[in-house]
Amino acid sequence: MPETSAASGSGAKRQAAEGSSGTPRQPGASPEGDAPPTAATATAATGPSGTTGPPEATGATIRLEGLTKRYAGSPAAAVDDVSLEIKAGETVVLVGPSGCGKSTLLKMVNRLIEPTSGRIRIDDEDVTGIDAVKLRRKIGYAIQSSGLFPHMTVAQNIAQVPKMLGWPKPKIKARVEEMLDLVGLDPAEFRGRYPRRLSGGQQQRVGVARALAADPPVLLMDEPFGAVDPITRDHLQDELIRLQHELRKTIVFVTHDFDEAIKLGDRIAVLREQSHIAQFDTPEAILTNPADDFVSGFVGAGAALKRLNLTRVRDVEIVGVPTATVDEPLETISEMLGTGTTNEVLLLDPKQRPYKWLRRGDLTHAKGSLARAGTLVHDTVTRDATLRDALEAVLTDSGGRVAVTGRRGEYIGVVDLETLMNCVHELLDADRLEAIEHRHSLGESQARRTYAAQEGLTS
C-alpha cells in the first residue's frame, strides 16, 4: 500500500506509466486509400499485431520548427513562428485563450491545415512536404462532439480507418471489440448502435476509440471533452489517463481549461495570442513558478489547492472497509455491525460494485429487507482520479469517505477525509515554505544591492 504523500503529478503519471508495457505494434498493410472525408477522421499507418513492441513509449517525437499560419485575408498570422518539441510517449497540453491559434496549431501537425512556413518533424522525418493523407495515417484525431458519422453504427465508425487501410475483415472486427472494451463500452451493447442513441460521454468514448483504432503513434485531441457535463468530463479524463498508462502514445491535447491541463499534461504549453509560447513546462513548475502575469492569470487563484490536481488517488493510502454483497443474509450484516468494530458496511452489488452504505441504525428500519435501508453510493473515484476529485466526492458525501473502484467499477477500497486533509496540509506547508524562501532570497539580493550602492560598487 503506498504511503500517504503528495507525490508530484507528472512524476506520478510517469511512475504509473513505467509499470506498463507498450502496445504491440507493427506496420500495417496499407494500400493507398482516399483522404479521410472529414477533419474528424482518425488515420494511422500502423496496425495491431501479435509482435511484442518496445516496453517504452509507442508514440513518436514531434518537432515543430518555426511553424506559421497566415490565413488568406488576415494581416496578422493566426500562429506565428512556433517551435516546440514533444517527446515520444509524452502528453503535452496546449492551453490558451480563445482565438490564440490552438486549433490551427494542432491541425498543422496532421496538415489538415497547411502551414504557411516552418517545418514539422515526426520521429526525425520531415513530414512538412509528404502526402498529407499518408501522414494522417500515423495520427489519430479526436475533436469536441466526437465528430462521429451519424449514418454509421459505432462499429462502422471505429472500423473506418482500418477499413481504409485494407485490414482483413476478421482483424477489423476483433479490433473494434478491443477498442470498445478499451474505452469501457460493452461491445455487445454498443457495437450496433447509431451515434444519436449514445450519451455525449459515450460518443466521446467512441470518438477516442476511433482515433486509436489503427494504433497511431500520435494522437491529437482538440477539446475532446469540452461538450460534456463536468462529472462525465472527469471520468473521461480519468479514462484517458488510464489509457495513456497502457498505450504511451504521444498526445497533443488542446483545452482552455487549466485544471484539465494540470490533470492530463506531462507538460503544458501556455499560449498567448498567435500561439506565442508564454511558458512550456511541467504542471508543477507552472503552478509554483509562473513565468509572468499572463501565466499567473491563467493559473488563477488557489495555486496550492490546484496542486491537488497533480496527486492521484493511487498515490495516497487506500484503506479497506467491511463489505458485504446484496445477496448475503441480513443477519450476517447485522452481525458485522453488531460486533462494535465497525459503524458501517459497504454493500456491493452482484458485480462487486459499491451500492449502498449501511449503518447500524439502518438495519433497525430494514424490516427484513435491504431494499430501503442505507444510503446509495452516488459518487466513486478510480485510482487515476485526482485528489481534488476525491475531495469533492468526500465533501459532498456526509460519510467523509469515497469508494475507490477499478476499471469495471468494482470495489477496491476507500479514501477518507483525513488522508486528503493531510495532503492539503502538506501542500499548503510546502507553499508557505517556498514563499518564505522566496522572500528571504529577495531580501538578500536587496541587501546586496544596498551594500554595493553604499560602497560605490555599482557599475
Ligand X SMILES: Nc1ncnc2c1ncn2[C@@H]1O[C@H](COP(=O)(O)OP(=O)(O)OP(=O)(O)O)[C@@H](O)[C@H]1O
Q: Does 147 bind ligand X (CB under 6 A)?
A: no
Provide the minimum distance between the beta carbon of 79 and ligand X in the complex, in angstroms, as a whole number: 7
Instruction: Kindly indicate which of the ranges 12-20, 28-36, 92-100, 439-447 contains the residues binding ligand X, using the contact rule CB under 6 A.
Output: 92-100
CB 237 within 8 A of CB 388: no
Output 53 or 101, the one with its CB closest to ligand X: 101
User: What character string, x for contact with ligand X (CB under 6 A) and - otherwise, covers 368-397?
Assistant: ------------------------------
Q: Does 70 bind ligand X (CB under 6 A)?
A: no
Neighbours of 200 (CB within 10 A): 16
Instruction: Kindly indicate which of the ranges 25-33, 71-79, 149-157, 296-304 contains the residues binding ligand X, using the contact rule CB under 6 A.
Output: 71-79
- Residue 388 class from Cβ within 10 Å (0-12 exposed, 13-18 middle, 19+ buried)? buried
Single residue of 23, 61, 103, 203 touching Mg ion by CB under 5 A: 103
Provide the minimum distance between the beta carbon of 82 and Mg ion in the complex, in angstroms, as a whole number: 15
Task: State the number of binding residues for Mg ion (CB under 5 A).
Answer: 1
Q: Among ligand X, Mg ion, none, what binds residue 451 when CB lies within 5 to 8 Å by partner kind?
A: none
Instruction: Kindly indicate which of the ranges 20-28, 102-110, 176-184, 305-313 contains the residues binding Mg ion, using the contact rule CB under 5 A.
Output: 102-110
C-alpha to C-alpha distance for 206 and 227, rounded to whole angstroms? 14
Provide the minimum distance between the beta carbon of 74 and ligand X in the complex, in angstroms, as a whole number: 5
C-alpha to C-alpha distance for 197 and 292, rounded to whole angstroms? 46
Single residue of 163, 256, 359, 360 touching ligand X by CB under 6 A: 256
Provide the minimum distance between the beta carbon of 49 and ligand X in the complex, in angstroms, as a whole number: 36
Quote the cell numbers at residue 268. Answer: 503544458
Contacts of 364 (CB under 8 A, 6+ apart): none
Q: Which residues pair with 141 in a beta bridge?
A: 220
SS3 of 403-437: the string is EEECCCCCEEEEEEHHHHHHHHHHHHHHHHHHHHH
Q: What angle do CA 421, 426, 427 make, to 5 degrees?
A: 95
SS3 of 72-120: the string is CCCCCCCEEEEEEEECCCCEEEEECCCCCCHHHHHHHHCCCCCCCEEEE
Provide the minimum distance between the beta carbon of 76 and ligand X in the complex, in angstroms, as a whole number: 8
Instruction: Kindly indicate which of the ranges 97-105, 231-239, 296-304, 337-345 contains the residues binding ligand X, using the contact rule CB under 6 A.
Output: 97-105
Q: Does 100 bind ligand X (CB under 6 A)?
A: yes
Q: Looking up cell 455487445, which residue turns up?
A: 188
Output 36 or 96, the one with its CB closest to ligand X: 96
Q: Does 75 bind ligand X (CB under 6 A)?
A: no
Contacts of 249 (CB under 8 A, 6+ apart): 57, 58, 59, 89, 140, 212, 216, 217, 218, 219
Q: Does 99 bind ligand X (CB under 6 A)?
A: yes
Q: Which residues pair with 312 in a beta bridge?
A: 386
Residue-level length of the chain: 459
Residue nearest Mg ion (C-beta atom): 103
Residues 3-62 that bind ligand X (CB under 6 A): none
Q: Among ligand X, Mg ion, none, what binds residue 99 when CB lies within 5 to 8 Å by partner kind?
A: ligand X
Grouping H, G, I as helix, E, B as strand and the rest as coil, residue 345 is: strand
Output 30 or 103, the one with its CB closest to Mg ion: 103
Q: Does 114 bind ligand X (CB under 6 A)?
A: no
Q: Does 98 bind ligand X (CB under 6 A)?
A: yes
- Amino acid sitting at position 276: H
Q: Does 211 bind ligand X (CB under 6 A)?
A: no
Q: Which residues pair with 405 in a beta bridge?
A: 382, 411
Q: Does 101 bind ligand X (CB under 6 A)?
A: yes
Output 99 or 443, the one with its CB closest to ligand X: 99
Q: Among Mg ion, ligand X, none, what binds residue 78 when CB lies within 5 to 8 Å by partner kind?
A: ligand X
Footprint of ligand X (CB under 6 A): 71, 74, 78, 98-104, 256
Footprint of Mg ion (CB under 5 A): 103
